[in-house]
Every structure is written in structure tokens, then in C-alpha cells.
Structure 1
Amino acid sequence: MRPIVGITSYVEPASWGVWIDQDAALIRKSYVDAVTAAGARAVILPPDDTDADVLRALDALIIAGGADLGPDLYGEEPGPLTDSRPDRDRGESLLLQAALRTDLPVLGICRGMQLLAVTCGGRLHQHLPDVVGSDKHRPGPGVYGWHGITLEPGSLAAEVAGDGPEGDGRIEVNTYHHQGVADPGSLTVTAWADDGVVEAVEDPTKPFVLGVQWHPEEAGERRIFESLVDAART
């Protein structure tokens, strides 16, 4: 049987057929396609903070991208540009804490990487342009930024993302975020943007716990998902 990979979902207004602006639990199909291409079965997980029992049916977990994390998760008040989804925060925090306790393979993407850091005792920059002085990580609405990052040699991030065309651990990635990791907590930072923004975190004491700030599902980076699925099979 194919491993079963759960993907947390957005809750946003959506339209289909005759139904206009209905609240919907959804996810970009690129996540599903990436998991399917890696040899696993994707299951979409809407927000649910009752329990984490669904993890018993999963072989791996992806915390997907989306809206900002609520700063209450790391003891701060929301800034003027912070746009959070408390239902996702509650449900995903519950799932992630349980997954980490049971060594379930976990991949956090964008928001998911930030939740990993916060869950492990870290905190975020609520608005990166105030820190780095540019909008290059989110150039405009619906526009991905592309920029270079440097990967730590020998890290899980380097293993799954590659050494780059020059073999020096430098690659180009696509990003869309205005928040970023200020403190990784107990996690290890294993990739940085040229402006110092944290681009990957991981827990080397776990079989597979990795967060990436970029969007491999949109860029066709299959190795990250193949590595997650390989971990799910063990």
C-alpha cells in the first residue's frame, strides 16, 4: 500500500459552480500532486482542535502554507499587518505537537516551517520588510519572489534540496511570505537567504522533521517529497 500523507488545509472563501464565496477547506492541488508523484496517497486535513487521533492513520504529515501565525502562539501581540487564522493555529498546533512526540515524519512548508519553529519554543518576525528592508520575499500579491539561499552541508535540507549547480550548497528558491523565523527554538537552522532570513530548520534528533520557507510543491522539487515518503515507509 502507498504511505498515507496528511496535508493540513486552508479555510478560505471559495467559489465553484453556482456557489459563491462559500467557506471551504481546501489546498492547492500542487501539494497533492507532489505527494502523489512521490508515491504516496494524499489526505486533506481541515482544522480540528478536538484531538490528534487522525495521526494514527497517517504515515507522514505536511503542515502547509497559508495565512500568518497568531502571535499569541509565541507570547506577542499582533502587529498591524498580521492576518492569522486561529482555527488553523489551534488544529495544526495539536497535530504537530502529537506528531513530534511520536516521531511521525513531518514536513513544514512556509507557514508550516514557522509553526515548527514556534512549536519548538521559537518566535517570528511579524513583518520581514521591517527587518530586512525589502519586499523580495513577497514582491506583490500572488507573485513569488525568487532568491538565493545557502544550505548547511550535511544537513537534511541539503540532502533533499541539492548542492546547487556549482556544488556549493547555493540554490534559487521561490518564496511568498512576509513573516519569518526570528528564533528557531530547539530546532537547527540549516539554510539562510542572502539577507540572513532563515530558510530551513530541522531536528537532527528525529527521523524526519524538516521545515522549508520556500514552496517546493510549486517549483517541482520532487526530492523533498520523495524523502518524506521514504521516511514514511520506514
Structure 2
Amino acid sequence: MTRPLIGITTDVHGDRYQVAVPYATAVRMAGGTPVLLPCEADCAADYLRRCDGVVLTGGDDPIMEQWGLPTHPEARKVDPRRQAFDLAILAAADVVHDRPVLGICLGMQLMGLHHGGALDQHLPETLPTSGLHWPGGTHDIRGALGDGVVHSHHHQALSDAGGLRVVATATDGVIEAVRDDHRRFYLGVQWHPERTEARQFGAEIFRELVCAAGGKLHQVC
């Protein structure tokens, strides 16, 4: 049986493309074949056609000037090539509508911004309970995805999901997961499922992605 091909976005560091090992391990353990995607925006549509699903990985902070806002001084800006690439992947996914997409941390934030949402750029300034999220560790979530503990560390979060549906929040109301219910699998999570011990919010997220990707190949998960 052919294993679904799952593209994993990479970060740009100097003259290197790189990604944390747990992303690829999680895809492989879920039954997929992980493929690293260099941040070449003009290749995004071709990558998406060739892959059965895509993971938008975590990373640094969005460059908000793209949405007409100044980037917060406490932000660590993502490499512009990475941002352009992830947004090109999302634009291509709007055309190849059945392609499963999982956005993690930065990936989820870019999904929300792509769909008209808004970003709280520095939770310590706006949220008394920001210590739940930064410097991070684990905290509880609740919502349509269930209740439990996730591995999460972030100083930014979506304040508005735009055209996506909120399916999980932290106990203080911070948005932790969003979904497009009109697609086979289009999920963004603020936490890191590749590092989360609870199967429901870790390995199971990747299994659902791979199963949805396998549907493109007419496989039964």
C-alpha cells in the first residue's frame, strides 16, 4: 500500500533550509512519507499538486506589514521567504481544495491571517494570564476537539479566526485551534502536536492528516 506523501514546510536559516526532526517522525509514525519542502514560493502550487497533504510547521513571528500593521517590537520576525512560501501554499490549497493541510503554531497563525483573521502580537501586554502560554510548557485546552493538556509555547495568538471556525481554546479563552469545516482536513493548532504526549492532541492529529491524505489515493485508513 502506498503511503501518503506529506510535505513539511522548512525554515530558512542563512543558506540552509531546515526543520525539527519530530515533525517528520510524527508523519512517519502516522503512516505517511515525510518530504521536506524548500521555501521556494514559485514552486508552492507544484508541491501541493504532488503531495497528498501538507504540514505548515512552527517558526518565528509573522511580518505584519503584509496586512497593513506594524510588527510588534517584541516579535522575532520570520524570514520573509518562509512567510511568502507558506502563504503561497495556502493560496494553492484554496485552488486544490481537497488537499489536507495541518498548520502548527506559526502555521496556524498564517492560516488565520490568510482567511481574514487578526493576530494578538504580544500576549503579555493584553492578557493577564499570558504566563500560561509564554515561556510555555503545557496547559489545558477545551472545545470541539476535546479537553486535555497540550505542549504549547507562544507569545502571539489569533484574536479573530476570520473565516475559520474556532474548535479549541485555552482555559483563558485564547484561540488554540481553528478549522475549515468545508474541507476534508484543514486544521490549525497553536500547540505542538509533534511534542504533545496526549495521543488525542498529538499522534492522533497526524493520523487524521495522513488518513485524509490517503483518501486522495482511495485508501482506507
Normalising by structure 1, report the TM-score. 0.84
Return the alpha-carbon distance in structure 2 between the equivalents of residues 150 and 73 of structure 1: 32
After the TM superposition, which residues 173-184 of structure 1 pair with which residues of structure 2 at under 5 Å, given as runs?
173-184=150-161
Does 2:2 correspond to 1:6? no
Return the alpha-carbon distance in structure 2 between the equivalents of residues 87 and 188 of structure 1: 28
Contact 2:139 2:149 in 1 (8 A): yes
Aligned partner of residue 112 in structure 1, secondary structure: helix
1:170 positional shift: 1.8
Return the alpha-carbon distance in structure 2 between the equivalents of residues 39 and 111 of structure 1: 24
1:49 positional shift: 1.7
Aligned partner of residue 204 in structure 1, secondary structure: coil
Task: Give the unaligned 5+ runs of structure 1.
Answer: 14-22, 153-157, 159-168
Task: Give the unaligned 5+ runs of structure 2.
Answer: 216-221
Return the alpha-carbon distance in structure 1 between the equivalents of residues 134 and 204 of structure 2: 24
Identity within the alignment, %? 42
Return the alpha-carbon distance in structure 1 between the equivalents of residues 206 and 23 of structure 2: 9
Match of 1:69 in 2: 62
Return the alpha-carbon distance in structure 1 between the equivalents of residues 95 and 30 of structure 2: 25
2:31 to 34, 39, 44: 39
Match of 1:97 in 2: 91
1:87 to 81, 106, 119: 81
Aligned partner of residue 225 in structure 1, secondary structure: helix
Match of 1:206 in 2: 183
> Deviating runs (4+, > 4 A) in structure 1?
none
> Larger % of helix: which?
2
Aligned partner of residue 131 in structure 2, secondary structure: coil
Contact 1:73 1:118 in 2 (8 A): no
Aligned AA (1:171)? G
Normalising by structure 2, report the TM-score. 0.89
Q: Deviations over 1:207-228 (max 9, x none)?
A: 1100000001012421110100
Does 2:206 correspond to 1:225? yes
Aligned AA (2:56)? I
Match of 1:172 in 2: 149
